[in-house]
Chains A and B, each alone.
Chain A
Amino acid sequence: MYRIRFHGRGGQGMKTASRILSNAFFLGGYEVQDAPRYGAERRGAPIFAYVRAAKQPINERGIINRPDLVIVADDSLVAIPAAGVLQGIGPQTVLMINSHEAARTWEERLNVPGQVLILPVTEEVEDRAELPFLGTTCAGAAARLIGIIPLEHLQQAIRDELAHLGTEIVEKNLQQAAEAYELAAEYAGKVIEGTEISAQDYAKPEWIDMPFEVASISAPTIHTGLTSELAATGTWRTMRPVIDYQLCNRCWWVCSEFCPDGAITVDDEGYPQIDLDQCKGCMICVAQCPPHAIEAVAESVAQLAEATEATEATEAVGDKS
């Protein structure tokens, strides 16, 4: 049985990718299962979708714990434990990441037993997470990696899934998928079909036994407000707003007021301060700032700049001592 997981952010088309891939399997005579996993619909939040395909009836249910192939549309998700990208990666797993960085870098960084590949693209772009038609691109690459899906089945699946979007969009997606399929040729058949997992071999999760407590201890009550601030929604962001304080007019009643999340506070001097742990990256502040003092910077670029700055600071300290 083939077990495939697609990881991305809501809106990047991973649900569509899983539907296209399972449909393509189906056209080749496979039994299939596909399902997306997300909470309430929200763009930007980490989501995943998964596909099972086998020549025999599929009796497995639920999330895939031992994937044969994991595709990551947005490399900023890899480091987020809650996104579960690395869950269950074994020696047989192929991990394909949509990233600027080299496979080798990721291999060393992650130290996972599987094989790491980078999603091949015709032309490098500034922000990989913003690649157009990312869903079909990932589906196309996945189909080729699996090796037993012919291009015609992939194309038919795209026509079936995207017909409601009109012929123009279908054509663009077909072209994109064919390109991804072609670019992944060198990895054709890298993904090996996983073995059946017998229910008898099922290893129970390591439960932690929780004794029953009296209701006054165990009942879910909250006696304190603002606990939502513990949930770091800053991980949703692919673009980061950066304020140039030289240009800032201190008209906080624009940016701070219009931030839907209240993630822009106002300091004693009237300067806005963006809480990057919480900013979801909607970019309303960038669009509304009267003197254009807020710039949208790709999150990957901003993080790299931060890392460089930190290294330089450490080196500077080192020089002094």
Chain B
Amino acid sequence: MTETAFRRMKDLPSTRLLGTGTPMCAGCGGLLALHEIYDILGEKTVFINAAGCMTLLSVYPFTPFRGSWLYTSMASAPAGAQGVRDALDILLEQKRISADEDLQTVVLTGDGSAYGMGLSATSGAIDRNLDFLYICYDNEGYGNTGQQFSEATPHAAKTSTSSGPRGFPGFKKDLFDIWAANRPAYVATVIGTEPLDLARKIEKAKNMKGPRLIIALAPCPTGWDYDPKETVEIGKLAVKTGVWPLKEYIDGKVVHTKIPRQRKPVEEYLQKQGRFAHLFKPERNEKLLAEIQQRIDVYWEGISNE
């Protein structure tokens, strides 16, 4: 393993770079991940933000960022990042800014954009070996417009467009593998409730060149229907039950960074969220619960620290 400045929780930054006063919901798991990521990335960043919950971060005249921010349509944030990167490169080449003034180009989108509308632009940016960092806050649905299902919605979850007794009939798309198949410099999954794992990955990504892509699972009290104080508990359960594997793709290999020693039953995670309540009430849907559990078990078969 490479050297890290983050060996223990105590090593995490104690100053907060992202401003308070944002319009994100109380208990937002996406904002949690973003503030942790921003603390590691630092101020020398420019955010290219596709339409979604987080475009509300910078609504004129307010911004929680310390630097620039650009708003793009849902499908074109990586294309916007290309323009920003090119502009910075020209400024550098013409010596109109010094190397010290260069900025990290950071794409910020939700899952609606990352898993769906923006996938083509992302693929193109990776093909062009664009030097950028992509952060997807994945709350498993179109949260900003009332939680319609997206390609990131898990099987059986209730959303405003999948409200039947079996919930969402589709399956969560494996964006990690899709991105990794494009062979970028770096891909990782993170979650704000595992700040040490997150810090190490962002630290690593920050010091690399080329396309680097991060998916942060973002527990969402509004869209997942739970009390906002449960955000951290639910995020931790997503990792402990194996629902959200923490891993990275680097040098052509996938490495799991945190393997739950004894995976908790997935229903501990599901039970805490209103979007899965129909699996337990009025009676338990044993078949569907077993199906969900089995899919997780199959994923983890044969995965070890090697």
A interface residues, Cβ below 8 angstroms from B: 39-45, 164, 220, 222, 225-233, 236-237, 251-254, 256-263, 265-266, 275, 278, 280-284, 286-288
Q: How far is the CA of A176 from the CA of B113 in the complex (A)?
A: 42
Contact B21 A220 (CB under 8 A): no
Contact B35 A260 (CB under 8 A): yes
Which B residues are CB-close (under 8 A) to A254? 9
Q: How far is the CA of A280 from the CA of B27 in the complex (A)?
A: 8
- CB-based nearest B residue for A236: B26
Q: How far is the CA of A288 from the CA of B14 in the complex (A)?
A: 17
Q: Known contacts A222-B63, A231-B21, A260-B28; is A40 also within 8 Å of B53 by CB?
A: yes
Which B residues are CB-close (under 8 A) to A261? 20-22, 24, 31, 35
Which B residues are CB-close (under 8 A) to A225? 19, 63, 65-67
| The one of A266, A278, A284 that contacts B21, using a Cβ cutoff of 8 Å | A278
Q: How far is the CA of A227 from the CA of B69 in the complex (A)?
A: 13
Which B residues are CB-close (under 8 A) to A232? 21
Contact B229 A228 (CB under 8 A): no
Q: Known contacts A222-B63, A282-B26; is A233 also within 8 Å of B21 by CB?
A: yes
Contact B35 A262 (CB under 8 A): yes
7 closest pairs, A vs B, by CB?
A282-B27, A225-B66, A262-B16, A283-B229, A280-B26, A278-B20, A231-B21
B 8-21 to A, binary, CB cutoff 8 A, 1 in contact else 0: 01101011101111
Which A residues are CB-close (under 8 A) to B18? 262
Which residues of chain B in 206-252 are interfacial with respect to chain A, using CB atoms and an 8 Å cutoff? 221-222, 227-233
Q: How far is the CA of A254 from the CA of B15 in the complex (A)?
A: 13
- Looking at chain A's contact residues, the main secondary structure is loop
Which A residues are CB-close (under 8 A) to B31? 260-261
Q: How far is the CA of A227 from the CA of B61 in the complex (A)?
A: 7
Q: Known contacts A43-B221, A287-B229; is A258 also within 8 Å of B193 by CB?
A: yes
Q: How far is the CA of A41 from the CA of B28 in the complex (A)?
A: 12
Contact A227 B9 (CB under 8 A): no
Is B62 interfacial (CB-CB < 8 Å)?
yes
| The one of A229, A266, A275, A287 that contacts B14, using a Cβ cutoff of 8 Å | A266
Distance from B101 Cβ to chain A, minimum over Cβ atoms (Å): 15
Q: How far is the CA of A103 from the CA of B53 in the complex (A)?
A: 40
Distance from B32 Cβ to chain A, minimum over Cβ atoms (Å): 4
- CB-based nearest A residue for B65: A225
Distance from B54 Cβ to chain A, minimum over Cβ atoms (Å): 10
Q: Known contacts A44-B26, A258-B232; is A222 also within 8 Å of B32 by CB?
A: no
Q: How far is the CA of A286 from the CA of B14 in the complex (A)?
A: 19
Is B83 interfacial (CB-CB < 8 Å)?
no
Q: How far is the CA of A231 from the CA of B23 in the complex (A)?
A: 9
Distance from B68 Cβ to chain A, minimum over Cβ atoms (Å): 9
Which residues of chain B in 54-77 are interfacial with respect to chain A, using CB atoms and an 8 Å cutoff? 56-57, 60-67
Which B residues are CB-close (under 8 A) to A278? 20-21
Which B residues are CB-close (under 8 A) to A40? 23, 53, 56, 144
Distance from A248 Cβ to chain B, minimum over Cβ atoms (Å): 15
Q: How far is the CA of A318 from the CA of B28 in the complex (A)?
A: 46
Which B residues are CB-close (under 8 A) to A265? 15-16
Which B residues are CB-close (under 8 A) to A262? 16, 18-20, 35
Contact B20 A275 (CB under 8 A): yes
Contact A220 B12 (CB under 8 A): no
Q: Known contacts A232-B21, A262-B18; is A41 also within 8 Å of B63 by CB?
A: no
Which residues of chain B in 73-105 are interfacial with respect to chain A, using CB atoms and an 8 Å cutoff? none
Which A residues are CB-close (under 8 A) to B10? 253
Q: How far is the CA of A236 from the CA of B228 in the complex (A)?
A: 13
- Identify 18 residue pairs between A and B in the complex whose beta-carbon atoms are under 8 Å apart, listed by A's number: A42-B26, A42-B222, A43-B25, A43-B26, A43-B222, A44-B25, A227-B62, A228-B20, A228-B21, A228-B63, A251-B9, A259-B32, A260-B24, A260-B27, A266-B14, A266-B15, A282-B27, A288-B232
